[in-house]
Structure 1
Amino acid sequence: MTSAAAAGDRLKTIPLPPAPFLSSVMQIEPQWIDYNGHLNMAYYNVMMDRAIDEMWLQLGIGPAYMKERHCSTFTAECHVRYIREIHLGDPVQVTVYVLESDEKRLHTFEELRHATEGWLSATSENMTLHMDMTQRKVAAFPPDIRARIQAVVASHATVPRPEGIGRKVAMPQR
C-alpha cells in the first residue's frame, strides 16, 4: 500500500470537525503578558493558530499530512480584531468557522473567547493556501481532502455566522 493510500485509509477513521469547531481550553503563558499588563497582540495569533492546528488534524491536513503527502498550508492573509483584553490566568477557547473553500484555499473565521465567562476577546479572519511542499507552490487539495473540506464548509454553513466577517481596516465613516 502506498503512503497516500495508507493516509487515505487513516483519514476515513477521523471524524469531521463539528460545526463550528471548538478548540481545547488554553492558558495564557506568563511570558506573553506585555508591559501594559495584558496579552501581547502577537499571542492572540499564536492561540488562534493552535486552534487551527487542532482542527487541521481532524481535516487530515496536520503534521502527518506534511510528512506523508508533502503538502501543508500557509496563511496568506489575516485580519485580527482585538475586542477585549485577556490577562494572565484567563482560560481561553477558540471557535473556528470554515466559511468557504476552493481547490487551493480555505477561508476561516476564528473567535477567541474567555472559556468560562464566554465573552469575546478577539476575532481573526484568514485566507489559507494549500501548498505542495516539494515545489513550495500553491497546489490543489487532493480529492479526498477536498471532499472533507467541502463537507465541513457545508456543515459550518448551517450555523449562524458570527459578527465581523468581511470587515476591513478603515477609518470610521463620518
Structure 2
Amino acid sequence: MKREVGINLKEGIFLCPWKVSPTLVDYNGHMNDAEYGRIFSKTLDLWIDCLGLNERENQDYQYTFFTLESHICYLKEVNESEELTVFPQVIDRDNKRIHLIMIMKNQEKETVATSEQMVMGMDRITNRPAPFPEPMQRRLEEYHRAQQDLAIPKEVGRKIGIRRK
C-alpha cells in the first residue's frame, strides 16, 4: 500500500495508512504480535519525518531519536488484507522527550491496538540527550497544542500485573 502520509499541525492530525500483507500474518491467521511493533515503529519514524527530522535533517543536525520505553496493548485481532490507520497523540513533552500513544484503528474505526511510548532526542555526536532542533520543536509544539482537548486514552499509564481479588 502506498503510504499517503502528511501532517496537519493546526489540527494535530497525522494519519498513517497500512495494509496487512500475507507476510505479516502468523499461523493463527492474524497479524503476528511482532508486526504491530514494526508498524508502530515505522509510523513513529514517518511522524518524526513530518515534524521536521527526516533523513537529510538527521544528518544536518546530527540528531536522532531513541525509544526509551514502549507498551503495546493488543485489543482486537487483525487479519490479512485489513487496512489500518495509526494516529500519534502526544500526551506530554519537554524540550527533548515525547510521551505519546499511537492508536491503531481498523476500517471500521475500531481501536485494535495502542502503543504508548517515551522517546528522547539524541545528539548523534555526543550520543547524549539533547533538545530538539528549533524547527522541529516549533512544529511539535503546534501539533501538541492542537491536541490539548483530546481525551487521554485509557491505555495510557497501564501497568502489567495479575489482578488479585
State which structure, 1 or 2, has the greater radius of gyration over its C-alpha atoms: 1
Instruction: Could you list the structure 1 runs, at least 4 aligned residues long, displaced by more than 6 angstroms after superposition.
Output: none
Local SS of the residue matching 2:23: helix
- CA deviation string 1:101-120 (max 9, x = no partner): 11210111011110x21111
- CA deviation string 1:125-156 (max 9, x = no partner): 00001011122221122333223222222211
Structure 2: distance between partners of 1:59 and 1:16: 9
Q: How does 1:123-142 map to 2 (within 5 A)?
A: 123-142=114-133
**Structure with the larger helix share:** 1
Structure 1: distance between partners of 2:57 and 2:10: 16
When residues 45 and 17 of structure 1 are mapped into structure 2, their CA distance, relative to the original with a 3 A threshold, is: farther
Q: Alpha-carbon deviation of 1:17?
A: 6.9
Normalised to the residue count of structure 1, the TM-score between the two structures is: 0.83
Q: Which moved further from structure 2: 14-23 or 81-90?
A: 14-23
Letter in 2 for 1:142: P
Structure 1: distance between partners of 2:102 and 2:25: 21
Query: Contact 1:15–1:58 at 8 Å: present in 2 too?
Result: no
| Corresponding residue to 1:147 among 128, 138, 151 | 138
Q: How does 1:3-22 map to 2 (within 5 A)?
A: 16=9, 18-22=11-15
Q: Which moved further from structure 2: 52-61 or 75-84?
A: 52-61
Letter in 1 for 2:68: A
Structure 2 spans left out of the alignment, 5+ residues: 1-6
Sequence identity of aligned pairs in percent? 28
Local SS of the residue matching 1:36: coil
Q: How does 1:60-75 map to 2 (within 5 A)?
A: 60-75=52-67
Paired residue for 2:90? 98
Query: Contact 1:20–1:159 at 8 Å: present in 2 too?
Result: no
Structure 2: distance between partners of 1:76 and 1:151: 23
Paired residue for 1:163? 154
When residues 64 and 158 of structure 1 are mapped into structure 2, their CA distance, relative to the original with a 3 A threshold, is: farther
Paired residue for 1:109? 101
Letter in 2 for 1:86: V
Say if 2:47 is the partner of 1:58.
no
Say if 2:18 is the partner of 1:26.
yes
